[in-house]
């Protein structure tokens, strides 16, 4: 698979999705899209974590909870689009990323630490916020995604396309979105 587009935009007409679609138009190529808002994304809980640990211990990944990780591992490039909600990512995206970060599928652990089992060479995180983002707040959204991408999956090119303050009365939303996509092209 060339590119995996993980669309965590839950609202129709999402400004984040507008940027992501423009980004896709510029980059072209084959794209497989996951619309998380329309999918059942299970969360790890007391029961499923036992299944997860047993699967990892036996290296048997037949359970459907591993399907997202298998798909992610084969992508050559990943685009994640998610609005900033309360200085973080939507819960459904967090649940998805917990499933993607599966030992034996997207990463493993060796004597020198984490080893990537992913093919992706680039991950782009597209996001928007209605208000201004306080300093350091990106650690709860992009920072989380960046840490997974660099520590577990060793993706060498991890970038963020971002526009904030979109709900401010004096913000020209179209201009702010255009600037975000232009900055990403550099």
98-107: pLDDT as tens digits: 999 999 999 9
Q: Quote the DSSP letter at residue 172.
A: -
Q: Which of 26-30, 45-49, 55-59, 110-114 has the lowest mean pLDDT?
A: 26-30
**Residues linked to residue 11 through DSSP beta bridges, in sequence order:** none
Token representation of residue 149: 């991408």
CATH T-level fold of 3-42+70-90+118-185: Rossmann fold (3.40.50)
Token representation of residue 177: 């979105």
Q: Is residue 186 very low, low, confident or very high in pLDDT (cuts 50, 70, 90)?
A: low
- pLDDT value of position 82: 95
- pLDDT value of position 117: 97
81-100: pLDDT as tens digits: 999 888 889 999 999 999 99
d(CA 102, CA 87): 25
Q: Is residue 185 very low, low, confident or very high in pLDDT (cuts 50, 70, 90)?
A: low
Q: Which residue has the higher pLDDT, 140 or 47?
A: 47
- pLDDT value of position 106: 98
d(CA 161, CA 179): 10
Contact status, residue 42 vs residue 48, Cβ threshold 8 Å:
yes
**Alpha helices (H) in 28-149, listed in sequence order:** 46-58, 67-74, 91-100, 142-147
State mean pLDDT over 169-182: 86
Residue position matching structure tokens 């975000």 = 180
pLDDT-above-70 percentage for the chain: 94
CA distances from 141 to 61, 93, 144 (A): 29, 10, 6
């Amino acid at each position: 698979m060339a590119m995996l587009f993980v669309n965590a935009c839950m609202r129709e007409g999402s400004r984040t999705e507008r940027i992501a679609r423009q980004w896709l138009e510029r980059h072209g190529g084959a794209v497989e899209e996951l619309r998380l808002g329309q999918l059942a994304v299970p969360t790890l809980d007391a029961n499923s974590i036992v299944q997860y640990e047993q699967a990892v211990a036996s290296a048997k990944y037949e359970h459907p909870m591993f399907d997202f990780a298998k798909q992610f591992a084969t992508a050559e490039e990943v685009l994640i689009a998610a609005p900033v909600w309360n200085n973080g990512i939507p819960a459904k995206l967090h649940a998805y990323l917990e499933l993607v970060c599966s030992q034996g599928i997207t990463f493993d652990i060796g004597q020198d630490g984490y080893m990537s089992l992913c093919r992706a060479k680039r991950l782009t995180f597209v996001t928007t916020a209605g208000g201004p983002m306080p300093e350091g707040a990106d650690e709860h959204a992009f920072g989380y995604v960046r840490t997974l991408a660099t520590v577990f999956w060793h993706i060498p090119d991890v970038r963020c396309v971002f526009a904030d303050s979109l709900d401010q009365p004096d913000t020209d939303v179209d201009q702010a979105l255009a600037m975000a996509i232009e900055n990403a092209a550099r």
